[in-house]
Structure 1
Amino acid sequence: MFSGTDGVGATDGGFSDELSRLKRRGASVLVVGSVRPDQCRDACRRLLGCDADRVRRRVLVSTTAGPHHATHHIDEAGSAALSVIAYETQARNVTTAEPGETPSVGTETTEAESLADLGLAIEQGIEDFETNTAALEPGEVRLGIDSLLPLLEADGRQRVFKFLHLINGRTRDVNGMAHYHLPVERDARIVQTLSPLFDIIVELRERNGDYQERWTIEDGDRRSGWVSVGAE
């Protein structure tokens, strides 16, 4: 949707206008839903602007074990303007990865072993983009975190709430977009706790092999219908 390549389906009044305003100002997005990894990957690629013609400068944070996060979302053409950060479990796996899991993207990975280190690494990634770019355009900087669950398990709701507040503010300073995956259902208590931090909540679901999304803006008064985004 933010890339300008996807429709939004049936919408309430003012939905598209508000999306456009958030794109110019910068936005924070919480992606929820217990769905297949390929649906999460597809949503992440679009939120990162992978199919857009314009240059995107991306900070990718992996908090989960398994094949390297960057190889799921960015191809070789997108690696030049890319900062990759591995947090805790993923950081330990970087040094013991099997040959098939070796990152194909030519980007050095920064390892963060605490929430404070993670915040500093994200800040440094954004600052590097500011330093090396004459003028960042709205929506040019994209931050993606593949799961908030490890952060919540390690540091608790209060510390993660504060962390997200600070990171969202820093991303908005450059009119960028930050998105975070939380693989739980929309009505989970933790979603209600974190919702005030976000401009947009994106719900993911699968119905009979059809991948669908529903976008809700801020106070919930503006919402898209369930939009089919296909299946891979």
Structure 2
Amino acid sequence: MSDRARRSYFETLLPDNPAALDVLSVNYRSSPDQWLDEWQRYAGDRPRRCAIVSIEESAGSGADAGKTRSDSNTVIQANSPTDLTGLGITISQYLDGNGGPQTVITLESLTILLQYVDLQRAFRFLHVLANRTIESGSVTHYHMDPTAHDEQTVVTLESLFDAVAEFDDGEWIVRCR
């Protein structure tokens, strides 16, 4: 997203008090420090508690490879961008301890995820994740660049979600199913 779209995302699509949130960020695009800095810059404060799953192709092995804690933040180095089973376990463990209406999961980005796994595998993973999120009472924001995918891919993934938000002409347009 552009800087303008990111700022608007934080101002428009997140709850009013981001400092009261528990956040799990599944991140393919930036380092944990960059993610936290961006959150603080746009939201005005860090989340109450957050875990950042940092996904890199060269990550070590083991479910807790590279796991570190500081203050109320946890960074978990994922095994591999193709290890959706391990990622699903990590997300479920987080939801078991932190799920609820003040929990937001951000998956950044579906576009990068689809560089590592095919659409069918991603769809199955996201279907389970969407159901798991609903069960926990949490909210998940999935980010993707629709211009990077064919229309069938976009429509297929959109079918999984309760709402789709698109940044157009400086505003978010939200379509609910």
**Aligned-residue offset at 1:188:** 2.8
- Tell me the equivalent position of 2:142: 180
- The structure, 1 or 2, with the larger RCO (C-alpha pairs under 8 Å, 6+ apart) is 1
- Tell me the equivalent position of 1:39: 5
**Aligned-residue offset at 1:180:** 0.6
| Aligned residue identity for 1:197 | L
- Tell me the equivalent position of 2:133: 171
Q: Would you say the 8 A contact 2:50–2:73 is kept in 1? A: yes
Q: Note the alpha carbon deviations across 1:133-179, whole angstroms, 9 max, x for none.
A: xxx4xx31111112111211111101110111111111111211111
- Tell me the equivalent position of 2:174: 215
Q: Would you say the 8 A contact 1:48–1:58 is kept in 2? A: no
**Aligned-residue offset at 1:90:** 9.2
**Distance 1:145-1:116 versus aligned 2 partners, 3 A rule:** same
Q: Would you say the 8 A contact 1:62–1:90 is kept in 2? A: no
2:52 to 84, 104, 108: 84
Aligned residue for 2:53, secondary structure, equals strand
Which one is further off, 178-187 or 158-167?
A: 178-187
Which one is further off, 161-170 or 177-186?
A: 177-186
**Aligned-residue offset at 1:182:** 0.6
Structure 1 distance, partners of 2:26, 2:71, is 14
**Aligned-residue offset at 1:115:** 1.8
**Distance 1:178-1:167 versus aligned 2 partners, 3 A rule:** same
Structure 1 distance, partners of 2:4, 2:84, is 27
For the pair shown, which has the larger CA radius of gyration, 1 or 2?
1
- Tell me the equivalent position of 1:109: 75
TM-score where L is the length of structure 2: 0.76
Q: Which runs of 4+ in 1 moved over 3 A?
A: 44-48, 74-80, 89-92
**Distance 1:85-1:46 versus aligned 2 partners, 3 A rule:** farther
**Aligned-residue offset at 1:91:** 5.8
- Tell me the equivalent position of 1:56: 21
Unmatched segments (≥5 aa) in structure 2: 61-69
1:191 to 130, 150, 154: 154
TM-score where L is the length of structure 1: 0.60
Unmatched segments (≥5 aa) in structure 1: 1-34, 93-103, 131-135, 219-232
- Tell me the equivalent position of 1:155: 117
Which runs of structure 2 are paired with 1:126-145 in the superposition (5 Å)?
126-130=95-99, 136=100, 139-145=101-107
- Tell me the equivalent position of 1:123: 92
Q: Would you say the 8 A contact 2:166–2:172 is kept in 1? A: yes
Structure 2 distance, partners of 1:83, 1:76, is 18
| Aligned residue identity for 1:212 | E
Structure 2 distance, partners of 1:188, 1:105, is 43
Structure 1 distance, partners of 2:17, 2:30, is 28
Q: Provide the aligned length of Structure 1 versus Structure 2.
A: 161
